Structure 1
Amino acid sequence: MTTGMQERMKISRRERNTTATRAKIFDVAHELFSEKGYDAVTVQHIADTADIGIGTLFYHASSKTELFLMVYNSSLEQAIQAGRKAQNDLPADASLCDRILALSLPIADAMNSPEAGNFARYHKELLFGDSNDRYRRAGIDLVRGFESEVAGVLGGALHIDAHSLLTRLTARAIFAALHFDIALPETDLNPATRFAGAGSMSLRMQIQIIVEGFESIGARHATPNRGELNLGTQAAHTSDDNDSWLAVIPAHDVS
Structure 2
Amino acid sequence: MSLASQPVGRRERNKQQKLDRITAAASELLAEHGIEDVTTQQIADKADIGTGTLFLYAKTKGELLLLVQNAHYAEALQQGRADAESTRDILDAVLAIVRPIVECNRVQVDNGRTYLREMVFGDPAEPRHAEALSIVAQTEEAIAAVLCRHELVSAGDAATTAHVVTAIMFLSMAASVNAAMSIDEVVRDIRTQVGVLLSR
Q: TM-score range by the shorter chain?
A: 0.7 to 0.9
* TM-score scaled by length of structure 2: 0.87
Give the structure 1 partner of residue 72 of structure 2: 75
Give the structure 2 partner of residue 145 of structure 1: 138
CA contact (8 A) 2:84 2:93 kept: yes
Trace 1:198-217 onto structure 2 (pairs within 5 A). Answer: 198=185, 200-213=187-200
Going from structure 1 to structure 2, the CA distance change for 1:22 and 1:103 (only over 3 Å counts) comes to same
Quick one: higher RCO (CA 8 Å, sep 6+), 1 or 2?
A: 2
1:78-137 per-residue CA deviation (whole Å, 9 max, x = no partner) reads: 1111101111233xxx12111111111111223553x12211111121112356411011
Structure number with larger C-alpha Rg: 1
Distance in 2, matches of 1:160 and 1:189, equals: 30
Q: Which runs of 5+ in 1 are unaligned?
A: 1-7, 214-255
CA drift of 1:157 comes to 1.6
Give the structure 2 partner of residue 169 of structure 1: 160
Going from structure 1 to structure 2, the CA distance change for 1:102 and 1:207 (only over 3 Å counts) comes to same
- Match of 1:38, SS state, is coil
Going from structure 1 to structure 2, the CA distance change for 1:195 and 1:132 (only over 3 Å counts) comes to farther
The size of the alignment, in residue pairs, is: 195
Going from structure 1 to structure 2, the CA distance change for 1:167 and 1:152 (only over 3 Å counts) comes to same
- Match of 1:198, SS state, is helix
Going from structure 1 to structure 2, the CA distance change for 1:178 and 1:195 (only over 3 Å counts) comes to farther
43-52 or 196-205, which deviates more: 196-205
Distance in 1, matches of 2:30 and 2:173, equals: 18
- Match of 1:137, SS state, is helix
- Match of 2:113, SS state, is helix
Trace 1:120-199 onto structure 2 (pairs within 5 A). Answer: 120-130=113-123, 132-158=125-151, 162=155, 164=156, 166-185=157-176, 188-189=177-178, 197-198=184-185
Instruction: Pick the structure with more helix per residue.
Output: 2
Going from structure 1 to structure 2, the CA distance change for 1:195 and 1:96 (only over 3 Å counts) comes to farther
Q: CA RMSD in A?
A: 2.3
Letter in 2 for 1:69: L
Give the structure 1 partner of residue 98 of structure 2: 104
